[in-house]
Structure 1
Amino acid sequence: MILHLALSVLSIVIGASLVAATPTPVVVNRASPTVQLDNATVTGVAGQTTNSWLGIPFAQPPVGSLRFQLPQPLPSYNASFSATAYGPSCPQQAISVPLPSVLPAEAVSVIDNLTNWISGLTTPSSEDCLTINICAPAHATPDSKLPVLAWIYGGGFEIGSSDTYSGTTIVDRAVELDVPAIYVSMNYRVTAFGFLASKEVQDAGVGNLGLQDQRLALKWIQQYISNFGGDPTKVTIWGESAGAISVSLQMLTNGGNTEGLFRAAFMQSGSPIPVGDITHGQPYYDFLVNETGCASSDDTLECLRGVEYETLMDAINQTPNIFDYQSLILAWLPRADGVFLTDDPQQLVLQGSVADIPFVTGDCDDEGTLFSLSTLNITNSDDSGLYSWLKTYWLPNATESQIEAAMALYPPDPADGSPFNTSDLYALTPEYKRIAAFQGDAIFQGPRRFFLEHQSSKQSTWAFLSKRFKSVPVLGSFHGTDTVNVYNGGDMADYLVRFATNLDPNGDTGIEWPQYTVNSPNLLTFLDGLVPLEITQDTYRVEAMEGITNLTLEYPI
C-alpha cells in the first residue's frame, strides 16, 4: 500500500510538473507586453501575474554552412515581431527507457510515465533552434533591475528543450517571497549537432558547440535583459543533470573568468565530470561519416555539413543513447577540445580554473538507478560480467588490478547498493544495485564531492542531498526527482530564488542551511515524512568515492 501510494503521488507530481511545463502562459485580458530590442518592438504574452516573451532568436540559424560551426551572433533586431510561442527544440536523439521483464508492475508504471515524458520532448524540432525565453513579473519595467535566473536544461546532452518547464511558478514564488526575479531559458544544440567530437572537429576549433551556444545566450542576456527589467550584473546560472554539468563547465572555461556573464551558480545533479580529450569521440564521428556517405570526402566535416537532415538524423539515432547498454558512457557529451575546455574538467579544478563565485550543488540519493536498468543482463555472480562491462566501457586502459580494486569498493551485497537503505529489496539481478551505486557515484556524487572539497575553502558553497520519493520501487530517490521540488513550488524553489537575490539561500523557509566546508561538510537533506528537512554530513561512502574519483582522474571517460 505504501509503495502504491508513493507511486501515485510521484505520478501525480511529475504529471503536474509536465503539464505546467509545456504550454505557453495562460493569457488574460490585459494588453500584450512589448519590449524594445534594438530597432524592433517585440510583443509577448500577458499571463495572470507574469509577462513572457518566447522563442526570441539569439543567434543566426546554425543551418547550411553554419551546421557544426560556432554559434554566430545576430547583427541586430531591425524588424518588429511577436514572441508568443516557444521555438522548436534542437534536433533530438531517439531515446526510450528500457522496460526489462523483471521489473515489478509499480516500477513499470513509473518508467512508462518517464518514457511518455521523453517522447513528448522530442517534437517539434529543427536545426534552426537557437532561441531564448524570458518570464518576468507583470510589474517589471526596464528600471526594475531584478536578479536573473538563467535555466540550462538537462537531457544527457542528447535531448532537452527550453520549453520543458515554464518559469511562471519560479517567478511567482520569487514575488511571493519579496525577492522578485526574472526567469530565462535558452535552447542549445544537443547530441551530435552540439557535441560532435573528433580530431577533425578539434582541428577546426568547433568542439563543444552546445556549450558555446549557452555562452552566446549568456552574452545576449547581458546585452538585452535590462530591457525586460533584469539586472545583467545579477545573473545566476542554474541547471539540472546535463544542465548542471553545463553550469559547472561554464565556471571552468576561460580560465575561470566569467566575463561578467554571471555572478552565482546553482547545480542540481551535475558537477565537473571526468571526461577526456575530444578525440575520444572519434569512433562516433567516423560512424556518422561512414553512414552518411562522407567517407571518401577530402573534408569529412565539410561533407557532414551538407548531408540531408534526415540522413544525418538516421545515423545519429543509430549511435548509443543514455539508456543503452553502455549507459552513462555517453557518445555525445562535452570533451576537452583545447578551446572551451583546455583539459579534463576535473584537471581544470585542480589547476584552479574555476570562477570565484558562490555556488550551490547537490544530488539525489539514488542517481544511478534509472541508468542501470539497461545492464540487467549482467547477472554473473562471479563478477566476470561486471568486470567485462567496466573494462569495455568505463576503464578500457586500466589494469586488471585497478578494475578489481574498483569493484571491491562496491560490494555485491544488495543491502549496500542503490536504491540505498532498502536492504535486499529491488535486487533485480545480483549486480543491479551494485552497478547503480557505482554509476551514481562515478558521474554524480563523486564529482560533486570532489568539486566541493577543492572549492569550499575558496568561495561560499552550499550542498544538498534529495532523499524524497524514496519509496518509488526499484528506483528510489532517482535522478531528476529533485526538479519536482523546484518547478512545483517546493521548498527548494524558496532556497533557489533567495540565493539568486542575496547570494545566500537562507530566509524564512525551512531550516537554516549552513555552508559546506571540508571540516563541516553540511548537506541540506530533503526527506519524505513529517520531518522534511535536516542537516546531515557528506561523509558516506568516502573510500569508494575517493577511489573511483582517483581512477577516473587517471582514465577519464
Structure 2
Amino acid sequence: MTLLTLGLIGGLVLHANVVLSATTPTPTIVLDDGTFSGVATTIDTHSFLGIPFAEPPVGDLRFRLPTKVAPYGGTYDATAMGPACPQQTVVVPILTGVVQKIVSDLWEEWYSQKYPSAEDCLTLNIIKPANATADSKLPVAMWLFAGGFEFGTPARYDGVPIVQRSIEMDQPIIYISINYRVSAFGFLGGKEVREAGVGNLGLHDQREALRWTQKYIHLFGGDPSKVTIWGESAGAISVSLQMLANGGDTEGLFRAGYMQSGSPVPVGPIENGQKYYNDLVAGTGCAGATDTLACLRTVPYTKLKAAQDASPFFLSYQSLVLAWLPREDGVFLTDNPQRLVQQGKVANVPFVTGDCDDEGTVFSLSTLNITTDKEFSEYIASVWAPTASKATVDALTSVYPSDLSSGSPFGTGILQALSPQYKRIASFQGDAVFHAPRRFFQHALSGKQNQWAYLNKRFKAVPFLGSFHTSDVRNVFNKGELTDYLINFVTNLDPNGPTVPAWPQYSAEKPNLMTFSDGLFGKAVTEVTQDTFRGEAMGILTNISLEFPI
C-alpha cells in the first residue's frame, strides 16, 4: 500500500481487541443481576464490548422509538463488538486513472461492507482505565460514528489509544462508542412517519444510550454528571442536534459537545423525505396496504434492505442532498435546526467544533459530467434548490464562480481540477453542508457560551482531494494534538493544557480558528488563524439555505 493511500485511510482506524496473554485476568462488571466479562485490551485498559442498551428493534419494534433495556441477568460475553445496524450499500463513483486508484483504495479498505450487520444492533462499548472503580468518578467521552446517516459502526474506531493517552496525561477518562440506526431503518421520512411519531429514530437511539450511561456508567468508574458527546460528520451533526432537542434541555444527559465536521444542517420538514418513503413502500410490496408503516414492519429484512439500497447513496449524483437524514419531525426536532438556533433553543453547554478545509471534494466525484457553467446552474437548481427562483440560483452561482483558483482543494491555484466544474462544486458543497452551517452556529451562540473552533488543513498533498472530509480523525484517534485537546476538554471543559499550544476561544468579534497544517518536510504546524474566508459567499448561502432547506 502506498504512503498516499495510508495517508488517505489514516483518518479511520479499525478497532482491534487485543488480549495480552492467556493468563491475563478477565475483567468483569456486574450490572443489575448480570455479570459481563470483558477483555484486558492493554496493561492499563479494560474493554467491555457489545453491551445492549435498548431492546432489539426487530419485529413489531422495527420503526419504533427505542425501548429501555430490561434489567440484566445471567452472564454476558462482552469481549467483541455487536453487529453494525443495517447499512446502506456503498456505491462508489466510476472514475479512471490515479483518481480511481485513490478512491478505490480509500473506500475498499475502510468503507466496504466488511462489518457484520443486523437489525438487533443497539449495543455500546466501553473502554476504561484498568484501575477505575465505582468510586473513580472519571469524565466520559461518548463517540458517535460517521457515515452520512447511511452507514457506519463504532467498530471502525479504536478508543484504546485515547484512554491510554488520558492516563499518560494524568487525566483518565472513560470512552464509550455506540451503535444507532441509520439509513431507512433510522431516518425514515414522510407524513406517515410524522403521524406515527417515529421520526429520527437514530437520534432517539443516541438519547437512549445517554440515558443508559446515566444509570450505569458509575459502575465502570465514570461520572454521569461529566459526559461529553463527541462525533464526526453524521456523528458531529448528531451532537449538534442533541443540543437542540427538547428546546435545548439536556435532561442532565451531557455537559458538553465536541463536533468534527458537523453542525446543525439546513434541513426542512420530514415530509421532504416523502419520495424515499414512497419508493420504499413500493419496493417492498406495501403500496396496497391500509397502513403502509405497519406493513413495513412485517417485510422480511433482506427485502426491506434491498429496497433501501435502491435509494441514492451520498456518493451518488445528488450527493449530500441525502435521502435519509434527520429532519424536523415535531418531536425530536420541532423546527428546522437552523431556525431552532435562531430561536435560542440550544443547550447552554461549552463546545468545540471544526472542519476540514476541503470538505466537499470527496462528495463531488460523482458530478464530473458537469462541465459547463450552464450545467452547474442546472445542478444547483434541480438538486439543491428546486423551488428557488432563477435570481436565487444566480446569486449562488455568482459567489461560487467557475474560476479554478477559487475552488477546492483550496490554495491549489488552477491545479487539481478533475473537470472544469469539479473544484467549483467541491467548494459549494463543502460550504453548504459544513463550513457555512458551522459559522452560522458559532456566530449565533457568540457570547452566550464558551466555544472553540478549528480548521484542519493537513493532507493538502493528497491529489484532487486535499484536506478531505475525515482527514482530521487521524489527529484525534492516533494521539495527535486533537487527542490532547479532546482529553483536556472532556476533563476540564476547556481544550487548553500544558502539552498543546494555546487555543483561544471563538466569538463573532474574534473568530479564532486553531489551524492544523503541514509545514516543510512534513513538520506539523499548529497556529491560530481567523474564520473570515469566503464571507460573502457563505452569508448568501446561509440565507438561501434557511429559505430552502433540504
Shared fold by TM > 0.5? Answer: yes
One-letter amino acid matched to 1:12: L
One-letter amino acid matched to 2:146: G
In the alignment, does 2:520 pair up with 1:526? no
**CA–CA distance in structure 2, aligned partners of residues 467 and 551 of structure 1:** 27
**What does the per-residue CA deviation read over 1:487-516, in whole Å, with 9 as the maximum and x for residues that have no partner?**
111111110011000100011223100000
In the alignment, does 2:194 pair up with 1:194? no
Residue 210 of structure 2 corresponds to which residue in structure 1? 218
**What does the per-residue CA deviation read over 1:276-320, in whole Å, with 9 as the maximum and x for residues that have no partner?**
000000000000111111010000000000001111111111100
Residue 159 of structure 2 corresponds to which residue in structure 1? 167
Query: Are the structure 2 counterparts of residues 15 and 115 from structure 1 closer, same or farther at C-alpha, using a change threshold of 3 Å?
Result: closer
**CA–CA distance in structure 2, aligned partners of residues 470 and 388 of structure 1:** 30
1:414 to 396, 404, 407: 404
Residue 75 of structure 1 corresponds to which residue in structure 2? 70
Tell me the secondary structure at the aligned position of residue 196 of structure 1.
Answer: coil
Residue 184 of structure 1 corresponds to which residue in structure 2? 176
In the alignment, does 2:93 pair up with 1:93? no
Please report the TM-score for the alignment, with normalisation by the length of structure 2: 0.97
**CA–CA distance in structure 2, aligned partners of residues 312 and 492 of structure 1:** 40
**CA–CA distance in structure 2, aligned partners of residues 479 and 370 of structure 1:** 7
Tell me the secondary structure at the aligned position of residue 51 of structure 1.
Answer: strand
In the alignment, does 2:435 pair up with 1:445? yes
**Which runs of structure 2 are paired with 1:246-257 in the superposition (5 Å)?**
246-257=238-249
**Which runs of structure 2 are paired with 1:46-65 in the superposition (5 Å)?**
46-48=40-42, 49-65=44-60
State the 1:418 CA deviation.
0.1
Residue 515 of structure 1 corresponds to which residue in structure 2? 505
**CA–CA distance in structure 2, aligned partners of residues 241 and 191 of structure 1:** 15
Tell me the secondary structure at the aligned position of residue 81 of structure 1.
Answer: strand
Residue 376 of structure 2 corresponds to which residue in structure 1? 386
Asked whether the equivalents of residues 134 and 185 of structure 1 are also in contact (C-alpha less than 8 Å), the reply is: yes
Residue 539 of structure 2 corresponds to which residue in structure 1? 546
Asked whether the equivalents of residues 510 and 533 of structure 1 are also in contact (C-alpha less than 8 Å), the reply is: no
One-letter amino acid matched to 1:35: I
Over 6 Å off, 4+ runs: none
**CA–CA distance in structure 2, aligned partners of residues 159 and 113 of structure 1:** 18
2:221 to 206, 209, 229: 229
* Unpaired segments ≥5 residues, structure 2: none
**CA–CA distance in structure 1, aligned partners of residues 130 and 502 of structure 2:** 31
**CA–CA distance in structure 1, aligned partners of residues 221 and 378 of structure 2:** 56
2:487 to 482, 489, 497: 497
One-letter amino acid matched to 2:443: E
Asked whether the equivalents of residues 151 and 183 of structure 1 are also in contact (C-alpha less than 8 Å), the reply is: yes
**CA–CA distance in structure 2, aligned partners of residues 403 and 17 of structure 1:** 35
One-letter amino acid matched to 2:293: L
1:136 to 107, 128, 132: 128
**CA–CA distance in structure 1, aligned partners of residues 347 and 514 of structure 2:** 23
**CA–CA distance in structure 2, aligned partners of residues 392 and 470 of structure 1:** 32
**CA–CA distance in structure 1, aligned partners of residues 19 and 467 of structure 2:** 32
Please report the TM-score for the alignment, with normalisation by the length of structure 1: 0.96
Tell me the secondary structure at the aligned position of residue 289 of structure 1.
Answer: helix
State the 1:387 CA deviation.
1.5
State the 1:120 CA deviation.
4.0
State the 1:459 CA deviation.
0.2
Residue 327 of structure 1 corresponds to which residue in structure 2? 319
Identity of aligned residues (%): 57
**CA–CA distance in structure 1, aligned partners of residues 75 and 154 of structure 2:** 23
How big is the alpha-carbon RMSD for the aligned residues of Structure 1 and Structure 2? 1.3
Asked whether the equivalents of residues 284 and 319 of structure 1 are also in contact (C-alpha less than 8 Å), the reply is: yes
**CA–CA distance in structure 2, aligned partners of residues 100 and 544 of structure 1:** 30
**What does the per-residue CA deviation read over 1:65-96, in whole Å, with 9 as the maximum and x for residues that have no partner?**
00000000112112221111110000000113
**CA–CA distance in structure 2, aligned partners of residues 40 and 14 of structure 1:** 42
**What does the per-residue CA deviation read over 1:436-491, in whole Å, with 9 as the maximum and x for residues that have no partner?**
00000000000000000011210000000000000100000000000011111111
* Unpaired segments ≥5 residues, structure 1: 1-6
State the 1:386 CA deviation.
1.1
Tell me the matched-pair count.
545
Residue 387 of structure 2 corresponds to which residue in structure 1? 397
State the 1:10 CA deviation.
4.6
Tell me the secondary structure at the aligned position of residue 356 of structure 1.
Answer: coil
